[in-house]
Structure 1
Amino acid sequence: MGETTTIRIKRETHARISRLATERHETIDETVSRAIRALRQDAMARDLATELTDDEVAWLDADAG
């Protein structure tokens, strides 16, 4: 592992992360990284699920030639 830092979290949160990491056979860092990635992917999915604006539809329908 490269450089590290400390973040303050509740003991209960730390215990939950530790249990999850143990169940997944990975480090706490790996578990937190996967959780962050999943949250980012969820946000992207929500963005993609929203209706397109009229401008976006016009841009997609524009002739590329």
Structure 2
Amino acid sequence: MAETTTIRISRETHARVTRLAAERHETIDETVSSALRALRQDALGQDLSEELTDEETAWLDADAG
């Protein structure tokens, strides 16, 4: 395992992540890492679903040659 540190979370959150890790047959670290990746992907998806600004549209429509 990589170098570790401690973070403070509620007992309820700890119990939830422990249960989820057990259900997924993963370590808590693996489960938290997966959750963080999913949150990053969700944020990226939200960014990509937003309407383009006029400047972005003009840039995309610009002649490349």
Q: Please give the TM-score of this superposition, normalised by the length of structure 1.
A: 0.98
In the alignment, what sits opposite 2:29? 29
Confirm or deny that 1:39 pairs with 2:46. Answer: no
Matched with 2:62 is: 62
- In structure 1, what residue type is equivalent to 2:9? I
Structure 1 residue runs of 4 or more that deviate by more than 2 Å after TM superposition: none
Question: Could you give the per-residue CA deviations for residues 12-60 of structure 1, whole angstroms, max 9, x where no partner exists?
Answer: 1000000000000000000000000000000000000000000000000
Aligned-residue Cα RMSD (Å) equals: 0.4
- Report the Cα offset of residue 2 of structure 1: 1.1
Q: Which amino acid aligns with 1:59?
A: W
Percent identical among aligned pairs is 78
Determine the C-alpha separation between the residues in 1 that align with 2:11 and 2:50. Answer: 37
For structure 2, the 5+ residue unaligned runs are none
| TM-score normalised to structure 2 length | 0.98
